[in-house]
Amino acid sequence: MHTVVVGTSGVTASDVLAVARAGARVELSQEAVGALAAAREIVDALAAKPEPVYGVSTGFGALATRHISQELRAQLQRNIVRSHAAGLGPRVEREVVRALMFLRLKTVCSGHTGVRPEVAQTMADVLNAGITPVVHEYGSLGCSGDLAPLSHCALTLMGEGDAEGPDGTVRPAGELLAEHGIAPVELREKEGLALLNGTDGMLGMLVMALADLDSLYKSADITAALSLEGLLGTDKVLAPELHAIRPHPGQGASAANMLAVLKGSELTGHHQDDAPRVQDAYSVRCAPQVAGAGRDTMAHARLVAERELASAVDNPVVLPDGRVESNGNFHGAPVAYVLDFLAIAAADLASIAERRTDRLLDKNRSHGLPPFLADDAGVDSGLMIAQYTQAALVSEMKRLAVPASADSIPSSAMQEDHVSMGWSAARKLRTAVDNLTRVIAIELYAATRAIQLREGLAPAPASQAAIEAVREAGVQGPGPDRFLAPDLAAADAFVRAGHLVTAVERVTGPLA
């Protein structure tokens, strides 16, 4: 099994995906163990002094003015975990919780948190045992980090609360730890706070969304090209020299992808045949501009994620010169903004895909295709309601595009009076990515049927490869009406697994 070694300088997106989705093992580097021990010596020295230090010998948040005596500090650290584990609602997905825990471990291993090496090792042991804390949908405001979600994870380290075992059964965390020979941690000064105070949930969801969107944007370029073929459009608008004079990198990449898919097609260039068109509709002609803008948004989001993956997010932090300082680095604004940006871009990509699908189904705009791509229009309804489904998905994505980060609600007796709502931005982005997959799948279903209805004209070799692959996956071609939901589900699974991109790239080579 692949092993990810966590050091002091952060982790990569591929590390997060390996642990969260592929179950990779986690190990601490010797460098990290040394840094953990050195930082802990500083915290222990401060804890022995009479002067109050936030997070070490004081309360938290609005209660930070109280100095806590030494005999109450272990109780203080236990209590912050128990009281902050206040989430409600549905359980969060296993991959999100694993990313959350792994990214918290990443910051702990930076040597800036003051956590003992044995606590970090327990975090790695829980991940390696396949134990997943039960984390709930609601509870994070994205400031002071993802407090409630991280608290539920810390509760498991203490042997309290519920967790899911490697067999998928939810049981008391203490039982699961005992079965795997893991001793519950007994938290000391600052450790409870250090386990709760980070942007790890929203960052983990950002990393996974970027991985999913990378495949989906390639898929969207492919379905846009297929729709162009189905509509007998022109590929002249994809010429590199046209995109060079507006040099947005994403736009150029999308146009190049579409051109690669369309190479060798007999279906393009018929826009001036029987019903002459000077230009194709915007949803066809401007596909690279819309998808390209989304790609550039992803590039910015990836830069933010890389910076955050290299960060140590905690409050207070232990500095190399021995100071322990309060700060605001836990604020989720940088991550929250790009999560919202991506939801906006995804909604627009879905919107333009739906417009192409609708055009394929409308006999007044499809340039010779039967109404709704039906076998016997009137007796058959064809893909009429598939487009309804797509439209409903797009409409929801528009609602999900309303930015969570534009909202702020004060908490902790006005101490935390401006919050990022980054966790909420991440949760709605996950739904948006799911819906975008379905929208692209429906365009794929319509476009491949349309191409097959253009008898006598051969599609591009890459398009033909896509058609053959999707048919082999159980998505049926043109014909009389049938139970449509299984076809749509098969198309969704085909796109979601990346099979569309794989089929096309066998012909075109790697797409951008």
Catalytic machinery residues: 54
- Strand ranges across the sheet with 162-164: 132-133, 162-164, 170-172
What span, in angstroms and rounded, lies between the C-alpha atoms of 425 and 304? 15
Q: How far apart are the first and last CA of the chain?
A: 30
CB pairs under 8 A, 24+ apart, for 359-362? Answer: 359/227, 359/231, 359/281, 359/283, 359/284, 360/227, 360/230, 360/231, 360/446, 360/447, 360/450, 361/387, 361/446
DSSP string covering 151-200, please?
HHHHHHHTT-SEEE-TTS-EEEHHHHHHHTT-PPP---TTHHHHTT-SSH
What span, in angstroms and rounded, lies between the C-alpha atoms of 86 and 81? 9
What span, in angstroms and rounded, lies between the C-alpha atoms of 25 and 18? 9
What element of type H or E holds 137? strand 136-138
What span, in angstroms and rounded, lies between the C-alpha atoms of 157 and 173? 8
CB 38 within 8 A of CB 116: no
How are beta strands 162-164 and 132-133 bridged, if at all? antiparallel
